[in-house]
Structure 1
């Protein structure tokens, strides 16, 4: 099991600004920048060390449902109920592309590892791969019979997975190859809300059926059904060494799983009910975030600069709170 001391260091930050429900957040690889999207149709960029808002971005005509930062932190993307994806420059805050192709709300967006492509999923039952530089459609991924809630590229940039409310996960080749078919992974008994690849190629899917499924996508083999949550599974993250999987659900818990055995080795309680983000840092620190109508909680990486953190603003209606929890390598008993 995890040593409880690894989770004992907890700090709290508050980011104030959004006037309505916070739907999503994304972090830069160095954890110093955070992007949030809200039902107020705004995108906000924050300095996580000072809790100060860097910029407030307008443009979307509907709720911002998903956001993602490129691995080089030069760009970020936002997906909206207005059926568009916007690509923004991090340095200037300029919108460089408005990607139009979906016909209904866009629920998810993710960058490819090499930052050259985006994948978005929509209520129109499709996923679209985009060329980031040109701002054009590369491929339309059609086949799901219900909305596409989540998507993720593998680390070799050869496949992209999509999770749908048709209860299935599909694994698509990034570059169409004549003899490579789309793989359809079946087994969930309710909407698939989250999909994520590990660095070694495993694929995890989380569902409203309260389970996590671990797959070998190359062979379409189900490795484990991970049971333990009592609420919808909303977010997933593999550790950098691919040995551990974190799953966050609206039962206010985050469960840590041993990928090699399929067993739950740690339960973190006290999380908020609607989880948007779950992520590991390169140091093994676990991040998880969620939101109600007015609050978003985050477990994130502590830093030396936190000693000099500025006090948050308190004059707004919707707050973003950050809880910092330091972890180290898990130890077994």
Structure 2
């Protein structure tokens, strides 16, 4: 099932000249994943330098010693209670105690594109590189397989749990997405192909009604999560492949970033860009909203994490002002 709609036209390149409010320095290679702890006071970043650094957001300083690995890190996920960190490396997934910095358990996956915690913290979902058409579900407490793998028609590139934890969505390398019922393991929506290249990121709206997908085809699309019917028109404006998106907790805004070296904000209802985009140092591989809505964090193929303060963010050289949302994530 697929729909074809006329994309929103985007005229002109809208780039801001402002600098990040804070730049977190500590890694020595690219930073390909960032995630906030639920308290919003700390965040974690994962790098090709084989380390995870936990940061104090306000001071911009490292909180304790980095978590060292024997391979480059591909992704991280933080449990809903903030007590554990799951790191994906080239050969396995390692689960750490965030307080003691000790390994809780690990499981072999042959490398993962990404992993995600379920909203209740029960599951860790992984998209393993070695078995590209499968989603694996692991018991987060024991590190053992929780059920049989969920099998997709195409290679899995990204995954996201629904807010109620009952379903999981997969973005695939053929431009399609698919939704599975976790209890039965059955596909309940899709596969639906709306994009023309890799679906690089998939997220649910806070109420679970909508599913947002981003792609290397430079577009963002919105779908009804239970039917797979596309909602409105695609959002265009990114000048190159989109690598990552995030949605605010009230569902009003989307942040997108990718190979054009910018972070952009979008209004989910109007599908229009909010203000001007702002420049990163290079390809952006990860973007996230802080729990209190104050910061947008980005990282990429460089050795820094940038934090943009939404409370004082005024676009230089234009009259555009970004009004912060009260609640973001």
Relative to the length of structure 2, the TM-score reads 0.81
CA distance in 1, matches of 2:262, 2:206: 24
Which residue does 1:151 correspond to in 2? Answer: 159
Which among 201, 217, 220 is matched to residue 194 of structure 1?
201
CA distance in 1, matches of 2:262, 2:48: 25
State the SS of the aligned residue for 1:226: coil
Which residue does 1:254 correspond to in 2? Answer: 263
After TM superposition, the structure 1 stretch with the greater mean CA deviation from structure 2, 205-214 or 163-172, is 163-172
* 2:235 corresponds to 1:226: yes
Which residue does 1:113 correspond to in 2? Answer: 119
CA distance in 1, matches of 2:323, 2:269: 20
Residue 153 of structure 1 and its aligned partner are, at CA, apart by 0.8
* 2:249 corresponds to 1:243: no
CA distance in 2, matches of 1:260, 1:21: 34
8 A Cα contact 2:220 2:234, kept in partner:
yes
CA distance in 2, matches of 1:245, 1:191: 19
8 A Cα contact 1:10 1:326, kept in partner:
no
After TM superposition, the structure 1 stretch with the greater mean CA deviation from structure 2, 287-296 or 236-245, is 287-296
After TM superposition, the structure 1 stretch with the greater mean CA deviation from structure 2, 253-262 or 72-81, is 253-262
Q: Structure 2: where are the runs of 5+ without partners?
A: 1-16, 313-320
Query: Structure 1's 190 and 8: CA in aligned 2 closer, same or farther, altered over 3 A?
Result: closer
CA distance in 1, matches of 2:207, 2:252: 10
Query: Structure 1's 9 and 41: CA in aligned 2 closer, same or farther, altered over 3 A?
Result: closer
Counterpart mapping for 1:32-111 below 5 A: 32-50=41-59, 51-58=61-68, 60-82=69-91, 84-100=92-108, 102-103=109-110, 105-111=111-117
Which residue does 2:315 correspond to in 1? Answer: none
Counterpart mapping for 1:152-301 below 5 A: 152-176=160-184, 181-201=188-208, 202-223=210-231, 224-299=233-308
Residue 53 of structure 1 and its aligned partner are, at CA, apart by 4.1
CA distance in 2, matches of 1:263, 1:225: 10
CA distance in 2, matches of 1:34, 1:163: 25
- The structure that is strand-richer by fraction is 1
CA distance in 2, matches of 1:175, 1:273: 41
Q: Structure 1: where are the runs of 5+ without partners?
A: 1-6, 304-324
CA distance in 2, matches of 1:69, 1:233: 23
State the SS of the aligned residue for 2:235: strand
Q: 4+ residue stretches of structure 1 with deviation over 6 A?
A: none
Residue 300 of structure 1 and its aligned partner are, at CA, apart by 5.6
CA distance in 1, matches of 2:97, 2:136: 21
